[in-house]
Structure 1
Amino acid sequence: MGTRELKHLLHKGEETHRATFLELFFDLVLVFALNRITTRAVGDFAADPGTLGVIFSDVGKTLVLLLALWAIWHVTAWTTSRYNPRHEAIQLVVIVRLLAAMVMGVAIPGAFTDRGLAFAAAYVTAQVFHPLVLAIMLRGSERQNLKLRMLITFSATGILWIVGALVPPGWGRGALWALALGIEFGAARFGWPVPGLGRSPLWKWEIQGEHLAERYQSFFLIALGESVLVIGLTYSDNSFSAGRTIAFAAALATTVLIWRIYFYRAGQVLPEAVSKSKQPARLGRSTADSHMIMLAGIVTTSIGYELTIDHPYGEVPPPWLAVVLGGPALFMVGRSRLEYEVFGRVSRARIVVLVVLVALFPLLMPTRPLVGLVAAALVLGGAAVADWRRARGAPPEPAKPGK
């Protein structure tokens, strides 16, 4: 590849700082796919609310589907942060991944039964097509080696995905898909090592850090958008009874508080933190893990919303209460991690919230689901108030990344 063509393929500074309309379009597909994961998980929880073994199996399946969806979005975000998202080849990659995510979303309800092949084929197509196109575009460049290693890795794990889809529904499919994800995430963390080709140290990766940080912010809003969709659809599907109305209001309040806690202030200055970092790629990878944890927390919280709005005064099986309280707790773990990455410290309010949410679990077992949802909203409200009091009258805290 000539120097001129390579320069056109790479980022062009401020011109490609913001997300393109195609990337935002891709995000809309993710809202649908995330909603399918939530709906499927709610069905599993409602079907066997007290069977511990079944619950663990259902949680594992949900996690596999969620991580696969995250992998599709995450690789896309890194691609458009390393290369010009307005280049025709990059747009083609994004479109293929968009279509694959849509097929995966359609297949999610039956991914572990009769639609496994559609889900796996869409995932493998997206993951193999991306490095294949870029390896061709980057021929003759030093960057081509990374794409070749990614292509080899995804081709190898693709076999596990397809074989998993072809085996009879059961634990074998989940095990093969989980193994494939483990290999892929491990390879990404260690520079995509391949025998004979070596690996690519993360510190060598050049990225448009502010673009990547903005994509993480967008994905957080995607997850919240899916929560709003769950709240609205669940509440509008049945009667507007007093219990369901209170649950609806508590769910909305919780979603607003999660938004407030994220963006004030670590999420708001994330682009600044990445731009100040000595190793933007390393900080970008670390904050990716934090957002993945927060995503899992928000999806878990959405499951709790639907269960509680539909059954505000029902019995409280332990798995249901674990979802209602565990979702906000998991979000707070990821948010605390992000705070440390952006500011180099974790506020006391984050630790208090985690301790209180864990302590509430045994206390709320004799109550009803609605009580747990309202309690979680009040705890998050306390964290938001603590943030407001700490910042009142003080200048905005600047980002101080440690990486």
Structure 2
Amino acid sequence: MRQNLLRPADSERTHRVAYIELFFDLIFILALTQLSRFLYDNQSLAGALESAVLVLAFWWVWIYTTWVTNWLDPVRLPVRSVIIGLSLIGLVMSTSIYESFGDRALVFALAYVTLQLGRTGFMVLALARHDRALHRTFVRMLVWLSVAGVFWVLGALLPFEFRLPLWGVALAIEYLSASLGFRVPGMGRSTTDDWEVSGPHIAERSALFVIIALGESFLVTGFAFVEQSITVDGALGLLLAFASGVAMWWLYFDHGERVGSRAIASSPAPGRIARLAYTYVHAIIIAGIVLSSVADKEVLKHPDAAVSLATAVTLVGGPVLYLVGLVLFRWVVARDLLISHLAGVAALLVLFGLAFPLSPLVLAAMTTAVLACVVGWETILRVRTGTDEPVAG
């Protein structure tokens, strides 16, 4: 640990996403497919709450690791070795997701806690000689994660009825502690001024994870399609899933993705923007994609069934979460209020009220049409202004 493992300044490696980081991301393809499977098979209020806990937990693991590789140089052998170790633990977590509220609760909890504490402990050692302010931040973080870890393990050991509330408390500790600067009695708190981040790196990493999540949705949809006989309804459901995925890609990558990197680079408080826009807001975007993948599978499996409350929530809720996440993202990074996205959210909420006389296939077609209209609105505005970025609205 005498080595300086931080990314070098003014180097081609300062902002570059390393291949080992993408290797770590591959583990989350399995995680996202298992999350979609869990939510599809547990379409109830309790299942929704359990799914929310799992999505937020896996997002927290991924985003914390992204922050670590934003500071540490993945080319260095110790850092690369740790990322490989974290990938193995992440694989154990991914294989235990589906039974995390069942027989594999303890495996899931121990893997999660080990990953969080192990990665944070490594940062404490790696930074001790080279960045005192950031070192103190990770010491504080280690304290909070240790407290949360107690609730994760207790939730797995105690009877089932205690699991959801205890794991909910653990997540609340982790998320709220970050917003409070990891304040610890006698040690003070961290400020976003202590977090010098690479805007291009964290923006690219988050964008790549959005691509992974969209790819996972196609994977889930494709498996559902090949498992059944080819029918007209099935083919239409597959086309709608593809069109919805294209619309989601377009809304994020056509212009919005570049805004975050530029905002961080030009901001006097880059840590604050990175924390809000990428640590918190992107969790909503990813949740929207996961929920949409469940909806696509529901349409393929039961295209003509009556629309239940759970079906309406998945079919409408996924696009709503996605658009809300994009609205919040653009507001945080650029103070742009995208009226097109808000209009899309309003239209989707109207569809939710009209959903129950419809079939899942028809409702999916209508939600996809709303996303396509938002895409068209945004693109026309950008083309008419003759700029690379759209005007607000």
**TM value normalised by structure 2:** 0.94
CA deviations 1:182-237 (Å, max 9, x no partner) are 10111111111111111111122111221111111111111101111111111111
Residue 106 of structure 1 corresponds to: 95
Q: Does 1:136 align with 2:125?
A: yes
Structure-2 separation of matches of 1:400 and 1:338: 15
State percent identity of aligned pairs: 32
1:190 to 180, 187, 204: 180
Output aligned runs, 1:48-59, within 5 Å.
55-59=44-48
Structure-2 separation of matches of 1:121 and 1:259: 35
Can you give the 5+ residue segments of structure 2 that lack an aligned partner in the other structure? Answer: none
1:120 to 103, 106, 109: 109
Q: Does 1:250 align with 2:248?
A: no
Residue 362 of structure 1 corresponds to: 353
Tell me if structure 2 keeps the 8 A contact 1:11–1:81: no
Q: Does 1:205 align with 2:207?
A: no
- Number of aligned pairs? 388
Residue 226 of structure 1 corresponds to: 216
**TM value normalised by structure 1:** 0.92
Structure-2 separation of matches of 1:263 and 1:178: 33
Q: Does 1:9 align with 2:16?
A: no
Output aligned runs, 1:33-112, within 5 Å.
33-45=31-43, 55-112=44-101
Residue aligned with 2:183, SS: coil
Q: Does 1:331 align with 2:305?
A: no
Tell me if structure 1 keeps the 8 A contact 2:123–2:138: yes
Tell me if structure 2 keeps the 8 A contact 1:209–1:281: no
1:398 deviation in Å?
A: 5.2
CA deviations 1:34-68 (Å, max 9, x no partner) are 110100111112xxxxxxxxx21111100101111
Output aligned runs, 1:147-166, within 5 Å.
147-166=138-157
Residue 27 of structure 1 corresponds to: 25
1:12 deviation in Å?
A: 3.3
CA deviations 1:220-277 (Å, max 9, x no partner) are 1111011111111111110111111111110110001000011121113332222122
Output aligned runs, 1:273-312, within 5 Å.
273-288=263-278, 289-312=280-303
Tell me if structure 1 keeps the 8 A contact 2:120–2:138: yes
RMSD of aligned Cα (Å) = 1.8
1:332 deviation in Å?
A: 0.2
Note closer, same or farther for the CA distance 1:27–1:399 as it changes in structure 2 (3 Å cut).
farther
Output aligned runs, 1:229-240, within 5 Å.
229-240=219-230
CA deviations 1:287-337 (Å, max 9, x no partner) are 122211111111111111111111001121111111101110110000111
Residue type at the aligned position of 1:285: R
Can you give the 5+ residue segments of structure 1 that lack an aligned partner in the other structure? Answer: 46-54
Structure-1 separation of matches of 2:293 and 2:100: 20
Structure-2 separation of matches of 1:182 and 1:95: 28
Residue aligned with 1:127, SS: helix
Which piece of structure 1 moves more, 78-87 or 211-220? 78-87
Structure-2 separation of matches of 1:209 and 1:399: 21
Residue aligned with 2:255, SS: helix
Residue 313 of structure 1 corresponds to: 304
Tell me if structure 1 keeps the 8 A contact 2:217–2:290: yes
Residue aligned with 2:229, SS: coil
Tell me if structure 2 keeps the 8 A contact 1:308–1:373: yes
CA deviations 1:75-97 (Å, max 9, x no partner) are 00001112222223322332222
Structure-2 separation of matches of 1:342 and 1:194: 29
Structure-1 separation of matches of 2:359 and 2:384: 41
Tell me if structure 2 keeps the 8 A contact 1:272–1:399: no
1:29 deviation in Å?
A: 0.8
Tell me if structure 2 keeps the 8 A contact 1:31–1:222: yes
Tell me if structure 1 keeps the 8 A contact 2:192–2:272: yes
